[in-house]
Each structure stands twice: as C-alpha cells, then as structure tokens.
Amino acid sequence: MDWDQYDAVLFDLDGVVTPTAEVHMHAWAAMFSAFLAAQSARDGVDYPAYTDQDYFDHVDGKPRYDGVRSFLESRGISLPEGTPDDPPDAETVCGLGNRKNDAFNDVLAAEGVAAYPGSVRLIEQLHAQGKPMAVVSSSRNAPAVLEAAGLSHYFATVMHGGLAAELGLPGKPAPDTFAHAAETLGATNARSVVLEDAINGVAAGRAGDFGLVIGVDRGAGAKALTDAGADVVVADLAELVAGDAA
C-alpha cells in the first residue's frame, strides 16, 4: 500500500476503527424486536421478526432515522415522522431512532470501547507519516465513541450525523459527507482514500469517485463490498500496515 499517492484518509468509525458496529447491531435488534412484538399486537398482523440481515439491508451505514424509515418500509409499517426532539417512547420514526440511541449509549457508558488493534496500528502509522485523517460516520455518537477509545487527537475533523444534518448534507450512500471531509482536509476526492465496512459507505465512496475505496469485511461479505464499488477488500486494517500484512 503506497500511501504517498494520497493526500487524505477518510475512515468510517463503527466497524472500521472501533467494534461499536456490534453494539449498534444489538441495540437495533433489541429496539426493533420489542417494537415489532408490540406493533403485531396492535395491528393484529404477524410481522416477520427482525434479523441480522435486516441490519445490513436497511440500517448499516445510514443516518439513524433513515435506517428506521427503511426498516419500517420493509415491513409495510407507517409511522409519523416526528421530530428529533421526540422522547424515546414516542411511536414515531424519530422516537424509535432515539429509543435505539438510548440503548447504544447505555452500553457505551457501561462497557466503554476499545478500538481494533489493527486499526490503531494503521492510524498511528499514518499519523507518523503526517497524513491528514478524518472520521466520516453516519452516527451522531461518533465524537463520544472516539473520545471513549482515546483516538480523538488523531483526526483533524470528525464528520458525524449531527454535523451533516446541520450542514444540510445527505447521508451515505450519497458521497457528500466524505467529499466535505476531504475538502476540509485540503484534499480532492481523487486524492483521498475511503475505508468502509458498510455497503452504503462503500457505495458513497464509489459515487464520489474517490481515489481508492477500501472495503473492510466485518460481516457484510467481500463480494457484496466489491459489488458496491470497493477497489480492494480486507478483513482487518492490519493488512494495510507496513510490515504487518501476512
């Protein structure tokens, strides 16, 4: 891997730098499973159970409320949109998103988070080389997760879901958040690397014509990541560290 070809490196967070994708998965599963059980009782309809595949198909890599909306559509369920200020017990799209967020924050506060060792090695190597880096995450929790993992100081900018909403930028699979981060680092898309584990994130990298799109297979599948537009797929970022590759 010749990093000298590129001026900036753009990391997704959950599933790429930290294993918080698993926490997100569990939080979504708990929230949606309980919601479907209650909604089935209310509607008298036996809705199909939530599965891990629903996470990859409808939620992974998307802004929180987009994920809720996509999953509900898959089950033919319509709820009011609500507002981001809705309480977590509100039966709205935003209420369900906030309910899931509470579950995620409870786990993060109780257990903390440790970054993937291979990811830390790559970040340290790039930092030593003076390579500008950014985190580009759909999650509004990205700054808190980075802080909990002790990695905040490595990243010149953190493009998270809340900031994207403030700037009016569409989330992944649109390339806008990655493009804004690259511009903030003084780089062009063509001279930036995107590292993503989500199909939507890889698709965003490809849609933005970034110089290199690296898929990180944490469960989505190498073929699915390649089909979405990854130039190369690795199982761990240690494979990209000088001297670490097997």
Domain count, the chain: 2
Do residue 107 and residue 137 come from a single domain?
no
pLDDT at 140: 87
Please choose, from the candidates 58, 81, 80, the residue with its C-alpha nearest in 3D space to the C-alpha of residue 71: 58
Q: 91-113: buried (b, 16+ CB within 10 Å) or exposed (e) per residue?
A: ebbbbbbbbbbebbeebbeeeeb
Do residue 70 and residue 183 come from a single domain?
no
Do residue 99 and residue 176 come from a single domain?
no
pLDDT at 148: 87
Look at residues 68, 91, 111 and tell me which one is the last residue of a structural domain. 111
Do residue 99 and residue 138 come from a single domain?
no
Do residue 67 and residue 7 come from a single domain?
no
pLDDT at 167: 97
Q: What is the mean pLDDT of residues 76-96?
A: 96
Do residue 183 and residue 123 come from a single domain?
yes
Residue 113 has pLDDT above 60, yes or no: yes
> How crowded is the C-beta side of 188, counted as CA atoms within 13 Å?
5
pTM of the model: 0.77
Active-site residue identified among 2, 4, 7, 12: 12
For residue 14, indicate whether it is catalytic: yes
Do residue 170 and residue 202 come from a single domain?
yes
Residue 29 has pLDDT above 70, yes or no: yes
Q: Please, which pLDDT band fits residue 244 given cuts at 50, 70 and 90?
A: low
Do residue 176 and residue 150 come from a single domain?
yes
Q: What's the domain range around 96?
A: 22-111
Active-site residue identified among 7, 14, 60, 66: 14
245 within some domain: no
Q: Please, which pLDDT band fits residue 243 given cuts at 50, 70 and 90?
A: confident
Residue 246 has pLDDT above 50, yes or no: no
Cβ burial, residue 4 (10 Å; 0-12/13-18/19+): exposed
Amino acid 129 reads: Q
